[in-house]
């Protein structure tokens, strides 16, 4: 086995067996789940959350109340559990208002049908009243119940009434490249976040492990049998493989979770509610690899110049900076993925992994731009590896002090 | 054929010359001592010997050929700064290092177990390095350098920080290796070990070789001007003008004579004043030669 592979193998096994690996592998999806869950909760008040919301309809017209109830409480996707108190007078209403105030119900729909009229005066109150989507649900239910009632009053047979009120199946298509809201771009956005975290995390891991081997003087032992280039290559390979393993576990978890959704997606691999496609997953892996190689090569060079893990912490911001800038600019890129800013950013190698990934998810990127970004990325990776290997060769044997920039330039020239 | 041959090698770092025109030869079946004060260029020389760094000028030959990395499979190296993976199991670690030296996994494991038994730390094999004491870690490092049965063994300060029992264990291991025809280079500050074990030495100071040759031969070059004395009674003879320095340890005195002093005359004067139990002319110790050569002072 070549030295680089032996070193990569050691690095890989050592890391995959560590508690930190287990921890981050499990923690990260959990964090994402929390963010996603929080997002859905904010938008629909916990529709994906725990249990159903309860609501009560209070009316002096029992028939209307039951009709509205059945409109609200049908279908498996209904997240409401609806009770009915009818016929009810002002006494019951006050009692139930008290119960709503005490939190026994989440919402109260008050339907008061004046004598001799078909149309009710309707009042909706409760914890849900500020929420547009639940108000819309209630309004729809009311409208349909009223339609049924009016049509029935005109003597239409039930089948035709059913025909009239049945909801039209509205197909929706995303127009790529037009203004998007964050919510319907959640999947790709989260993937970009994961990309950011994993590239940074594994890049910094490389820097840290270089410094560790430097401070523990393991390098000196290894250099007595192998080249610095093999050491660096082995380290990048090993740590990169750990990152890939982790990404693979995440993808597998997401696929498991999205299994039922995929079955209905007609063979097109779609990661369920998040709307993540197979090609996005492939690009994710590609850009993880490219981003990791670029950033970890830089990190390896950095690590070789530094002398302690604290120094790695201090200097990590330099490495992280371009990535953070990309994250900050993400909203503008999502809004206008074909714009000048987005195109330029996606061609800059330090930004390519995140920005190009977002653009690819948001629009059909011109092929030449994708190709150019990949060529530039490969060139940048090659350059970073070249420089890092030279710094590495000298730096890993320098103990006890941090190398000054002028010194590093000399290393580059001398080797 | 010499196993190691350094031919006028020099290495300069930014501000200083680390190694200046150093030449030396080490033969198979001998132990070579590389001595010198801290920062004299010992580690720099060793690093050039095994290609970790390259000399600015001069040539390195190993096993009779110009140095190539291929030779490293036949070299075992124990660096001055010990380095092991703290969180890695000892056996895994040794197998990993053995494989880097070209062994297959099975023979690396076999060799690791044999050595651990020989050095009485077989119980460490299943432990993580960080769980071991300093001395045990050092033995593991020692083993790591010898796993692949190298023909050239290079050890930078192999005995530093070891207790006498473990020191003795490693000494015997090195002597056995010499017996088996290996060439061994070690650097140390401990002159007693050099005197006991080394066939020849080189003393370097400020990057230059200041003294080299066989241990016996070097010692014979220096005059015997030291006397070990034990006496009882009047000690006023100790301030005799022939004496450069007298260190009185109570019942034992170490005397350095001035150049040209007559030891026989000193003995007569001493005997006239005190009862003499012991009066011994001593050959100079390597330590004295070392200090004398490095500092230029005869006393110390």
| Cα–Cα nearest to A363, from A340, A337, A326, A339 | A337
State the DSSP string of B166-202: HHHHHHHHHHHHHHTT-EEEEE-S-HHHHHHH-SEEE
* pLDDT at position B116 over 50: yes
Query: pLDDT tens-digit profile of B80-91?
Result: 877 888 888 999
Going by C-beta distance under 8 Å and a sequence separation of 6 or more, which residues neighbour residue A181? Answer: none
* pLDDT at position B176 over 90: yes
Going by C-beta distance under 8 Å and a sequence separation of 6 or more, which residues neighbour residue B267? Answer: B276, B279
Q: Can you tell me the distance from the alpha carbon of A413 to that of A74, in angstroms, rounded to the nearest whole number?
A: 75
3-state helix, strand, coil in chain A (%, to 5): 70, 5, 25
Nearest to A223 among B52, B87, B101 (CB): B52
Residues 122-151 of B with CB under 8 A from A: 141, 144
The answer to whether the CB atoms of A216 and B69 lie below 8 A apart is: no
The answer to whether the CB atoms of B77 and A221 lie below 8 A apart is: yes
* Other Cβ atoms closer than 10 A to B4: 22
Residue A186 or residue B132, greater confidence = B132
pLDDT at A264: 46
Peptide bond into A87 cis (omega under 30): yes
Which residue is listed with tokens 């209070």? Answer: A58
| Cα–Cα nearest to A127, from A43, A41, A54 | A54
The fraction of chain B above a pLDDT of 70, given in percent, is 99
Residue to substitute from A1, A210, A220, interface B, most B β-carbons within 10 A? A220
The answer to whether the CB atoms of B14 and A410 lie below 8 A apart is: yes
Nearest to A219 among B50, B83, B96 (CB): B83
ipTM: 0.77
Distances (CA, A) of A103 to A80, A96, A107: 15, 10, 9
Nearest to A222 among B75, B100, B141 (CB): B100
CB < 8 Å & 24+ apart, contacts of B207-214 = B207/B10, B207/B16, B207/B17, B207/B18, B207/B19, B207/B20, B207/B22, B207/B40, B207/B41, B207/B44, B208/B20, B208/B21, B208/B22, B209/B21, B209/B22, B209/B23, B209/B24, B210/B293, B210/B294, B211/B289, B211/B293, B212/B24
For the ranges A301-310, B138-147, B192-201, the maximum mean pLDDT occurs at B138-147
* pLDDT at position B217 over 80: yes
Which chain B residue lies closest to A217 (C-alpha atoms)?
A: B83
Phi, then psi, of B2 in degrees rounded to 5: -85, 145
pLDDT at A320: 84
Residue to substitute from B52, B88, B129, interface A, most A β-carbons within 10 A? B52
Tokens representing residue B58 in the block? 């001069």
pLDDT at B143: 94
pLDDT at A41: 56
CB pairs under 8 A between A and B: 57
* pLDDT at position B95 over 90: yes
Lowest mean pLDDT, pick from A186-195, B32-41, B87-96: A186-195
| Cα–Cα nearest to A303, from A391, A385, A406 | A391
| Cα–Cα nearest to A108, from A75, A72, A76, A63 | A72
Output DSSP code: residue B242: T
Phi, then psi, of B25 in degrees rounded to 5: -135, 140
Average pLDDT, rounded, for chain B: 87
Going by C-beta distance under 8 Å and a sequence separation of 6 or more, which residues neighbour residue B279? Answer: B227, B228, B229, B267, B270
pLDDT at A175: 53
pLDDT band at B144 (very low <50, low <70, confident <90, very high): very high
pLDDT at A192: 84
- Rounded to 10°, the helix A309-335/A186-215 angle is 160
Tokens representing residue B188 in the block? 């140390």
Tokens representing residue A239 in the block? 């740590």
Which chain B residue lies closest to A396 (C-alpha atoms)?
A: B52
| Cα–Cα nearest to A12, from A173, A236, A295, A273 | A236
The answer to whether the CB atoms of A225 and B52 lie below 8 A apart is: no
pLDDT profile of chain A (415 residues), mean per 10 = 88 88 84 68 46 78 85 66 79 79 79 82 71 71 86 85 77 51 66 84 87 83 85 90 88 69 43 61 88 90 82 82 86 82 90 88 84 94 88 73 68 63
* pLDDT at position B300 over 50: no
pLDDT at A393: 77
């Amino acid at each position: 086995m070549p030295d680089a592979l032996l070193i990569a193998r050691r690095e890989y096994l050592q890391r995959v067996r560590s508690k930190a690996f287990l921890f981050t592998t499990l923690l990260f999806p959990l964090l994402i789940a929390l963010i996603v869950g929080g997002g859905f909760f904010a938008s629909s008040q916990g529709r994906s959350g725990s249990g159903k919301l309860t609501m009560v309809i209070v009316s002096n017209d029992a028939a209307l109340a039951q009709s509205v109830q059945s409109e609200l409480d049908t279908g498996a996707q209904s997240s409401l559990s609806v009770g009915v108190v009818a016929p009810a007078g002002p006494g019951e209403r006050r009692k139930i208002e008290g119960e709503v105030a005490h939190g026994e119900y989440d919402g109260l729909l008050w339907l008061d049908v004046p004598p001799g009229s078909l149309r009710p005066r309707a009042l909706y109150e409760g914890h849900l009243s500020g929420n547009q989507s639940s108000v819309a649900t209630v309004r729809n239910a009311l409208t349909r119940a009223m339609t049924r009632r009016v049509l029935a009053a005109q003597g239409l047979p039930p089948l035709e009434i059913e025909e009239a009120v049945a909801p039209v199946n509205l197909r929706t298509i995303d127009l790529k490249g037009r203004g998007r809201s964050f919510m319907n771009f959640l999947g790709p956005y989260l993937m970009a976040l994961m990309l950011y975290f994993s590239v940074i995390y594994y890049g910094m891991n490389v820097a840290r492990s270089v410094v560790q081997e430097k401070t523990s003087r393991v390098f000196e032992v290894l250099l007595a049998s192998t080249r610095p280039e093999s050491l660096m290559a082995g380290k990048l390979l090993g740590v990169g493989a750990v990152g890939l393993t982790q990404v693979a576990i995440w993808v597998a978890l997401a696929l498991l979770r999205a299994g039922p959704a995929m079955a209905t997606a007609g063979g097109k691999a779609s990661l369920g509610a998040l709307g993540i496609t197979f090609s996005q997953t492939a690009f994710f892996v590609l850009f993880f690899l490219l981003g990791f190689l670029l950033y970890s090569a830089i990190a390896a060079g950095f690590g070789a110049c530094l002398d302690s893990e604290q120094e790695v912490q201090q200097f990590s911001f330099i490495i992280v900076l371009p990535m953070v800038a990309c994250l900050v600019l993400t909203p503008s890129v999502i809004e206008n993925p074909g714009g000048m800013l987005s195109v330029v950013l996606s061609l800059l190698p330090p930004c390519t992994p995140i920005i190009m990934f977002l653009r690819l998810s948001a629009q059909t990127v011109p092929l030449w731009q994708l190709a150019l970004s990949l060529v530039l990325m490969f060139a940048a990776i090659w350059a970073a590896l070249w420089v890092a290997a030279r710094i590495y060769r000298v730096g890993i044997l320098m103990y006890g002090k941090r190398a000054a920039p002028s010194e590093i330039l000399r290393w580059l020239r001398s080797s | 054929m010499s196993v190691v041959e350094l031919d006028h090698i020099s290495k300069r770092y930014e501000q200083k010359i680390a190694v200046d025109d150093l030449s030396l030869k080490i033969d198979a079946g001998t132990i070579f001592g590389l001595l010198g004060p801290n920062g004299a260029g010992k580690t720099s020389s060793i690093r050039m010997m095994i290609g970790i760094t390259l000399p600015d000028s001069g040539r390195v030959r190993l096993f009779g050929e110009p140095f190539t990395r291929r030779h490293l499979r036949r070299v075992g190296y124990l660096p001055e700064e010990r380095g092991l993976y703290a969180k890695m199991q000892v056996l895994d670690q040794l197998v990993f290092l053995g494989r880097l030296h070209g062994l297959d996994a099975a023979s690396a494991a076999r060799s690791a177990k044999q050595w651990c038994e020989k050095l009485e730390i077989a119980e460490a094999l299943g432990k993580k390095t960080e769980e071991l004491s300093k001395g045990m870690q050092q033995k593991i490092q020692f083993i790591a350098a010898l796993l692949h049965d190298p023909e050239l063994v290079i050890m930078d300060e192999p005995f530093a920080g070891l207790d006498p029992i473990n020191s003795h264990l490693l000494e015997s291991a090195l002597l056995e290796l010499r017996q088996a025809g290996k060439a061994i280079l070690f650097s140390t500050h401990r002159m007693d070990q050099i005197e006991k074990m080394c066939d020849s030495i080189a003393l370097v100071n400020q990057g230059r070789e200041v003294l080299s040759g066989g241990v016996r031969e070097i010692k014979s070059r220096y005059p015997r001007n030291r006397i070990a004395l034990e006496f009882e009674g009047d000690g006023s003879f100790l301030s005799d003008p022939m004496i450069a320095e007298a260190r009185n340890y109570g019942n034992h005195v170490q005397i350095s004579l001035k150049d040209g002093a007559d030891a026989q005359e000193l003995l007569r004067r001493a005997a006239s004043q005190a009862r003499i139990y012991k009066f011994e002319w001593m050959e100079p110790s390597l330590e004295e030669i070392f200090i004398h050569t490095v500092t230029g002072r005869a006393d110390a």
